[in-house]
Amino acid sequence: MAKVIFSIQYEINSGKKEEYFSVVKELKNLLKAEGLENYSVYEVKGKPNNYQEIYTFSSSEAFDKFDDNQDERLNILINKLNDLTNANSTKYSTLYEISEI
């Protein structure tokens, strides 16, 4: 089964770092979904207030199932994150592992 990496990179509003860290900490505690192997947040080197979330899934099926998740608290936190980011700074990437090599 090929793994899937989903990433979201964005810039948060200046002065919102503590609120951002609080939201991400709670989000990390909630993300215990089946098939989600890892969730990490990284600061982008050389770019103040720029962060990247990395989700690693065990399979494309686990990724699809996670995308259908309708957990209310999770949705609230994601909306809070969207409110903390600068407009038009969000970039999404989905990577599918090549299992043939």
pLDDT at residue 70 above 70?
no
Domain with residue 66: its CATH number is: 3.30.70.100
Q: Which domain holds residue 73?
A: 4-96
In this prediction, residue 34 carries a pLDDT of 66
As a whole number of angstroms, the distance between CA 60 and CA 67 comes to 11
pTM to 2 decimal places: 0.88
User: How many domains does one find in the chain?
Assistant: 1
Q: Residue 84, Cβ neighbours under 10 Å: how many?
A: 19
Examine residue 101 and state whether it is found in any structural domain, yes or no.
no
Amino acid at 5: I
As a whole number of angstroms, the distance between CA 33 and CA 100 comes to 27
* pLDDT, tens digit (0-9, with 9 covering 90-100), for 40-56: 999 999 998 999 999 99
Examine residue 44 and state whether it is found in any structural domain, yes or no.
yes
**With bands split at pLDDT 50, 70 and 90, how would you rate the model's confidence at 73?**
confident
